[in-house]
């Protein structure tokens, strides 16, 4: 008798749970509406959606973007080796900047968390070396998590180390790299890692990347701190931090860098 009552109770619990799940996301409207519905009852008017003026030219910055580099100066950047000093890379033709090998990376003066980034880059015009030795650099989000920059045009290397990869973590969906004589674009949507009050990860960082207009990372989970050797993990809890670009001893070039806080 007790067994029969237990089975009946379990059945009712299952049916109730199933009904609740069905009601949460109904596939069809309820048979009888609890009250007469009007169109305006499902309209959201306030707050009004903020206006952002889009760029007239594809790739240029919208009205609410922060311009990190427009070809004229490196005022938004400092040296990673000594943040009290200006960025040591050179500006070419008031158009783009070029890595000065062995001068060290550069980082923004401002700190960011969730953001949208547009950046254009080109490998050195003269092709030298192969694999990781060709046009190597990196875009670091929160100064820790690397989106790889590399000349992957007719240049085989490990998949999670080529252009568009989350370095040593997730390979890109496809190789969309242009030739060394052309410019490439990354359009990035980045969601920063969240930590619990005790320092544990609440939700990992995520990233979506369009490489030359082609989706190469689709809301990808970032496993943690970028490490050249060993597994990735999240460091101690942290908040917003700088955006940095890597000096990997290649004369990689950059232009038209802007960012939007999300």
Instruction: Give percent above pLDDT 70 in the chain.
Output: 87
Domain boundaries, the chain: 2-42, 66-261
What's the pTM value of the predicted model, to 2 decimals?
0.85
pLDDT in tens, 160-194: 999 999 999 999 999 999 999 999 999 999 999 99
Which CATH number is associated with domain 66-261? 2.60.120.560
At 62-72, the pLDDT tens digits run 999 999 999 99
Q: What is the pLDDT of residue 23?
A: 53
**pLDDT at site 24:** 55
- Mean pLDDT value across residues 55-59: 82
Q: Give the model's confidence band at 98: pLDDT under 50 very low, under 70 low, under 90 confident, else very high.
A: very high
- Three-state SS string over the chain comes to CHHHHHHHHHHHHHHHHHHHHHHHCCCCCCCCCCCCCCHHHHCCCCCCCCCCCCCCCCCCCCCCCEEEECCCCCCCEEECCCCCCECCCEEECCCEEECCCCCCCEEEEEEECCEEEEEEEECCCCCCCCHHHCCCEEEEECCCEEEEECCCCCCCCCHHHCCCCECCCECCCCCCCCCCCCCEEEEEEEECCEECCCCCEEECCEEEEEECCEEEEEEEECCCCCCCCCCCCCCCCCCCEEEEECCCCCCCEEEEEEEEEC
User: Which pLDDT score, from 0 to 100, does residue 7 have?
Assistant: 42
pLDDT at 70: 96
């Amino acid at each position: 008798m007790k067994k029969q009552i237990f089975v009946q109770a379990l059945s009712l619990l299952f049916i109730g749970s199933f009904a609740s799940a069905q009601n949460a996301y109904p596939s069809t409207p309820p048979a009888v509406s609890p009250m007469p519905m009007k169109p305006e009852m499902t309209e959201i008017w306030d707050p009004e959606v903020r206006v952002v003026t889009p760029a007239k030219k594809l790739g240029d910055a919208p009205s609410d973007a922060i311009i990190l580099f427009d070809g004229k100066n490196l005022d938004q950047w400092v040296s990673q080796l000594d943040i009290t000093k200006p960025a040591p890379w050179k500006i070419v033709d008031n158009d783009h900047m070029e890595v000065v090998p062995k001068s060290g990376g550069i980082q923004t003066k401002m700190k960011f968390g969730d953001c949208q980034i547009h950046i254009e880059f080109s490998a050195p015009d003269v092709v030298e070396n192969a694999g990781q030795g060709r046009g190597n650099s990196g875009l670091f989000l929160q100064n820790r998590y690397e989106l790889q920059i590399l000349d992957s045009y007719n240049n085989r290397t490990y998949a999670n180390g080529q252009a568009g990869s989350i370095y040593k973590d997730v390979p890109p969906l496809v190789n969309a790299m242009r030739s060394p004589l052309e410019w490439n674009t990354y359009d990035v949507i980045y969601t920063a890692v969240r930590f619990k009050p005790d320092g544990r990860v609440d939700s990992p960082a995520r990233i979506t990347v369009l490489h030359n207009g082609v989706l190469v990372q689709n809301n990808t989970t970032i496993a943690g701190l970028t490490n050249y050797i060993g597994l990735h993990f999240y460091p101690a809890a942290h908040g917003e931090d700088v955006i940095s670009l890597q000096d990997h001893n290649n004369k990689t070039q950059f232009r038209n860098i802007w960012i939007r806080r999300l």
